[in-house]
Structure 1
């Protein structure tokens, strides 16, 4: 290491007279890492000034207000579990299922609307639970370690916590099999997440909802005959589907990170 000469350090301490900008910059860089040269510059007046500054700072710290506790990051717990824009969709789902119960009592000759709606009941909520188009905090959340599959699972659970009890009450009040009410709901939710790893949760939810409506819901209402998929013998099939799709979701967890913008 090359040290500045005492003469150059003296000129630097006196204001840098006669030294060009490059020399001044190199001396300052050197002083940042060299304690010996800094000690050479220290004069009794400089040492006294530093001592008085240190005493003043210590006194200000002792007599000043206590430090304010650090606030939690803006990413609070409720934002990890729930987007407030999801609430209207959950309210709509509850209202639709309630209408299904009313129609089941009003038109007992028609296939049960509760059964027909149960598989797709959570899909609107799941579709918007992790979507940049709906969640105003998406840009903030997408950059956190809790994003990706962990975030999708938490918000999907928040949706199911609301939807499953509503379906359970609807099924019990209309005398419908609890298994046929809840198992299709869980199977479609798990299928949405499994497909969502590749095409985005929102796209998967919309696609499955349209497919169910076109293949089962509308034909059942048109023919006034319940689809074989929702008859008592189908419970084992729905249980298998729910378990199978749920097992696939952890296997494709990394895809949620790569497709966050489409989720």
Structure 2
């Protein structure tokens, strides 16, 4: 990379070696360099112009092919109505496949609140408290499910499909789930910190484990583990487990901090296609 200083802040552009290596292809650049160049080209018109000059000079057959493709595409593109900016912003944070799963999560939250209020044994075990840690995990799993997202391969292979996009989609899930749980917890008298901390810790645990085995697989494994280790014993004993009591909050805080550290330390793992499975 080279620095170009102007009137404003310093702008870092792709070097001639990177641009020429990107044009040559065939392993001329390392994989991380290719991803970095592609991500930079998305927002840098100057480097896109330099790339076009290199292609025209060193690979005229590629330039001819590109001109032929554009000659056929331009009439079709002009006939298509421009995409609304709002849709582009939504696609950067979520996918259409997430909508039914988020609706299901909201329905389960309402059901948990109803069971807490009118269900038998109300007051012994809070369903809102019991389900809060795993509800966002279901939405996170749906956001990276190969079977639910028709554009999965396209999205997961783009240069910006790393940790940034994973965190965006996770945030979009939490933006829906947390307010619903806040209302449910308030209606049933459960302290916000008592369900919010396990909720955030479990979500960060999913992302940390997802960097190793894939986000969807990690979500499924953790939900099964929660059901077997905490949910079923709690319901069988009609007594709130230690993991859901106020005394267990420091443990959840430690889990949240450790898992957040793991996610940050392994942020490069989320650019691998397998991390999105």
TM-score (ref. length: structure 1): 0.70
Match runs of 1:22-171 below 5 Å = 76-106=88-118, 107=120, 108-171=122-185
The CA deviation string for residues 17-61 of structure 1, in whole angstroms up to 9 with x for no partner, is xxxxxxxxxxxxxxxx9xxxxxxxxxxxxxxxxxxxxxxxxxxxx
Among 244, 249, 255, the alignment partner of 1:235 is 249
Aligned-pair distance for 1:259? 3.8
Q: Find the aligned partners of 2:220 and 2:108 in 1 and give their Cα distance.
A: 17
| 4+ aligned runs moved over 3 Å, structure 1 | 70-75, 259-262
Q: Find the aligned partners of 2:180 and 2:203 in 1 and give their Cα distance.
A: 16
Where structure 2 has 5 or more consecutive residues not aligned to the other structure, the ranges are: 1-56, 58-77
Aligned-pair distance for 1:71? 5.6
Greater mean deviation of Cα atoms: 104-113 or 211-220: 104-113
1:250 alignment counterpart: 264
Q: Find the aligned partners of 1:77 and 1:146 in 2 and give their Cα distance.
A: 14
Equivalent residues of 1:130, 1:151 under 8 A apart? no
Q: Find the aligned partners of 2:176 and 2:276 in 1 and give their Cα distance.
A: 25
SS in structure 2 at match of 1:84: coil
Aligned-residue RMSD, C-alpha: 2.5
- Matched residues, number: 198
SS in structure 2 at match of 1:133: coil
Change (3 A) 1:113 1:194: same
Where structure 1 has 5 or more consecutive residues not aligned to the other structure, the ranges are: 1-32, 34-66
TM-score (ref. length: structure 2): 0.66
Aligned-pair distance for 1:133? 1.8
Q: Find the aligned partners of 1:188 and 1:246 in 2 and give their Cα distance.
A: 11
Question: Does 2:199 align with 1:205?
Answer: no
